[in-house]
Structures are given as structure tokens and as C-alpha cells.
Amino acid sequence: MTWTVFLLSATAVIVAGVRLARDGDTIAEKTGLGGMWVGAILVAAATSLPELGTDVSAVWQGAPKLAVGDLFGSNMANMVILAVADLLVRHTRVLARVAVNQLAVGTLAIALAAIATLGMLVPGWTVAGVGWSTIVVGAAYVAGMGYLHRNRAEPPFGAGDGTTGVRPGELRRAALGFAAAAVLIVLAAPFLAYSTAIVADQLGISHGFAGMVLLAATTSMPEAVVTVTSIRAGAYELAVGNLFGSNCFNMAALVALDVADGWRPVLANMGADVVVGALAGILLTSLAMLGILDRADRRRRIVDLGPIAMLGAYVAALAVMHRMPG
């Protein structure tokens, strides 16, 4: 019965997340903003709502390790999605086709994850039960998004009215679909969090590891859909910006988890496996940023070693986390 609840709730979150991603993309298109800004903030927030809803429910149910593990695991999964997408595009490198400005989003993602990791190692002082690290993460996220907004690329000529490529009535349908998908996630999230915790106990794995693998694989499906759709349309900036931006939003979601936990810092008492997962996410993001710095557009080899290194690092991190105490 637990597995049935897990599969049904996971399916509901995936379907709703896909709809969120598509409708969020349509809503973002009305703004006429650049692909990096749209991907890093608007679409990234939409595709990260499954993580937020599920993880807040997990905290309320007394499973903070599951919730925090999901966020760090989602960071890892997003970079794996980027690596696989880069490998699947023939004759060209996706990371070489995006603006170097994407490094600003990646740097912000690494900085936020580093602060959160430090919060797990040094819990320190709190304010009304909210840990110092999540407060700093929240402030840094707001400041970083403001920086990206001020330095975003100007919209193409003629796109300033925000109507480019959007038919009349499409925005209203997208808004209604977005709202309906958000409601479905709110309804399904408690069942997904509860069933994942029980499945982890049945499999004999820690809640942190279950969050970084089982839960993260489910809640990261919207990012995968947006990435594939964007790359097929040639919108590389949107695809990469969404994944980097989703990593930023995942760390900002720690603020909501800390507030939901109420009486203690949510990052306190995390297992060593969650710390390793956080560091692995930082490593994978760094490797992706190195891929952007390599401006060779065409592949010099049959298989690009950059994405292969990212996939290898992900598998190695899972092996290490599985052996670490939860």
C-alpha cells in the first residue's frame, strides 16, 4: 500500500510539475525578458515548486532529513540533467552556446549551497528558531536575484510589449493551468513525503539518502522536461538558466523549511550523507561552469569528457553517501 501511495503521489507531482513548467514558460514569455533571467528566476521558481511543497510537508511530518536531502539531491540531479542533455545534442556543446553571464547564476548557486553546508557543520545562533545560515541564504538569494535583474540582457527589439509569440488568451489559460497545477502539488505533497519516509525505512536506507535519490529524482522531473523542451527549441540560455536558477531556488527554499520546523534550525543534526550530498552538488555545479568557460562550440571528441566527468562524480557521490551514516 505504501508503494502504491508513493507511485500515485509521485505521478501527480510529476504531471503537475510538467504543467507548471510549461505554463510558467508561457507566463515568462509575456515579460519579454532575456532567457537567462526568465530561466534563472521565473521558470526556475515554477519547476522548483514540487520540491518546496513536498519538503515543507516532510518537515511538518517530522522528517527534516528527508526534506533537506531532497533539496541537495535536486541540486545534484539538475546538474546530471544538464550533463545528459549536453551529451545528447549532436555535433555541438550546449554549455558552449550560452552566455558567459550564466556563470553569475552558477556562482550564486555555489555560494548559497556553501552557506547552507556551513550551517549544517556549525549550527550556531538562531532567531525565533530560524538558523543563522538560512537567514543568510535568504538574504543572499534576494540580493543575487536583484543583481541578475539589473544585469540581465536587454529584450530583443520589438519584444518590450511582452506579447511576442503569445496568442490572445494564452496567458489566461497558462495562469489558470499554473494555479491548478500548484493546487495539485499542495494536495499530493504530504502523501509523497509520508510514503517516501516509509519506503526508506522499508529499504533500510537513511531519510537523507532517500531524499537525495528517490525524492529528488521525482521532484526534478519538471526541470528535465523544461531542459529537453528548451534545447529542442534551441533555447539553450533558458535551459541552462533554469537548472542553475533551480539550484539557487532550492537553497532559498531552506528558509521556508526552517520556518515550518519552527523550534530549531532545520539544518541542525543532519547526517554525514546529507553533507556529502551538499558538497557533491557544489562540485557538479563547478564542473558545469568549467564547461561554459570552454568556448569550443563543436565537439573535439566523439564523447565530451566534461559531462562524462559530471556523471562519474554523481555516481561516486551516491556510492559515498550510501556508506555514510544518516
- 132 CB neighbour count, 10 Å cutoff: 18
User: What predicted TM-score, i.e. pTM, was given to this entire model?
Assistant: 0.80
What's the pLDDT at 160? 40
Vertex 171: Cα angle to 167 and 172 (nearest 5): 120
What's the pLDDT at 325? 66
What's the pLDDT at 303? 61
Question: Locate cell 497558462: which residue?
Answer: 174
What's the pLDDT at 125? 83
What's the pLDDT at 108? 94
What's the pLDDT at 32? 56
What's the pLDDT at 140? 95
Please write the tens of the pLDDT for every residue from 146-158: 887 777 654 443 3
154, three cell numbers: 536587454
Among 242, 244, 270, which residue's Cα sits nearest to residue 134? 270
Q: Residue 259's Cα: distance from chain center in Å?
A: 20
* Residue 179 phi, psi dihedral angles, 5° rounding: -65, -40
List the domain range (segments joined by +) for residue 58.
2-323
What's the pLDDT at 141? 93
The dihedral region occupied by 98, where left means phi > 0, alpha psi between -120 and 50, and beta the remainder, is: beta
- 169 CB neighbour count, 10 Å cutoff: 8
User: Domain tally for the chain?
Assistant: 1
Query: What's 301's domain CATH number?
Result: 1.20.1420.30
Q: Give CA separation, 60 vs 2, 57, 66, 256, 313, in Å.
A: 19, 5, 11, 11, 33
Among 22, 10, 5, which residue's Cα sits nearest to residue 180? 22
Query: What whole-number distance in Å separates Cα of residue 116 and Cα of residue 120?
Result: 7
- Which segments in the chain show pLDDT lower than 50? 34-35, 154-164
